[in-house]
Structure 1
Amino acid sequence: MAVVRRAFELRLHISLKFITANVIDQSNGQIVAQVSTIEHALKQAFELGRTTKNPQAAAVVGEVLSRRLKLEALNHHGLEHGVHTNVFKQVHKKGVQDCGANAKIVWSVINSLRENGIRIIVHDADFDDSTSIS
């Protein structure tokens, strides 16, 4: 089985309080764009700063990330080929208690990126895509 080289990868970190999304350039390990609900402007936009179980907050994370990616696309050739992510891996990270809630957050970020013009290539076709939020 051939290993697919991914130029750009979406990585999410969902803590008890915050959502952070990074797009990593796999060729050099550098962060191309990043957004987190810990950022002052985003944190103030949500009631009590509690965003982890909030799909609307995740959608905002995706929207802001898409804008930052579009700005960075001028400097990074290859973004037109898409950003790769493994949904199963993002949902089932070590220590996650509630995979259902995590799936809603992950799909909210992915769908928001797609709605804002970022091509997302989802890996791990065995994952149940029915949790996708339209």
Structure 2
Amino acid sequence: MCPTKRYVLRLFISLKYITANVIDRNNGRVLVSASSVEHALKDALECGRSCNAKAAAAVGEVLAMRLKVEGLAEGRAIHANVEKEIEKKGLKNRTKVWAIVNALKSNGVNLVIDDSETR
């Protein structure tokens, strides 16, 4: 694996839920995760039938907080290929993907936006 892109942001967006994971590519483990399925977020958001960009931003903020607790926010670069995530999720979810990315950046996470293929 490429050591410069060790930590990678991966997103799962469905009609009802949003999940964001930071994965260690060296061993394939999920290090930190946040999801709108969690009771604390789910009750606060009132997503109803679908989650919006506000819910995505809340998931991004929780993920940033958990990254700080684990000590991964400032020192280590977390890579995100936004165009690839949007391509996988569809253009309808573009605002949700960017809401998560912007929430991570605004909360002090060292997020590196990659335009090239991550493999």
Gaps of 5+ in 1: 126-134
Task: Report how many aligned residue pairs link the two structures.
Answer: 115
* Partner Cα distance (1:57, 1:65) in 2: 12
1:103 aligns with 2:102: no
Residues in 2 aligned to 1:115 and 1:39: alpha-carbon distance in whole angstroms: 22
Alpha-carbon distance, 1:4 to partner: 7.1
Q: Give the superposed CA RMSD.
A: 2.0
For 2:106, the equivalent position in structure 1 comes to 115
Correspondence list, 1:76-95, <5 A: 80-93=75-88
Equivalent residues of 1:19, 1:51 under 8 A apart: no
Q: Taking structure 1 as the reference length, what is the TM-score of the superposition?
A: 0.77
Q: Distance in 2 between matches of 1:16 and 1:51?
A: 5
Higher relative contact order (CA closer than 8 Å, sequence separation 6+): 2
The structure 1 segments of at least 4 consecutive aligned residues displaced by more than 6 Å after TM superposition are none
Which residue of structure 2 lines up, in the alignment, with residue 20 of structure 1? 19
CA distance in 2, matches of 1:17, 1:112: 20
Q: Distance in 2 between matches of 1:4 and 1:123?
A: 15
The alpha carbon displacement at 1:23 in A equals 0.2
TM-score, with normalisation over the residues of structure 2? 0.86
One-letter amino acid matched to 2:58: V
Instruction: Show the 5 A alignment for 1:38-77.
Output: 38-52=37-51, 54-73=52-71
- Please list the CA deviations of residues 77-116 of structure 1 after superposition, one character each: whole Å capped at 9, or x if unmatched: x9613110111111111xx4x50x3110011000000110
Amino acid of the structure 2 residue aligned with 1:122: I
Structure exhibiting the larger radius of gyration computed from Cα positions: 1
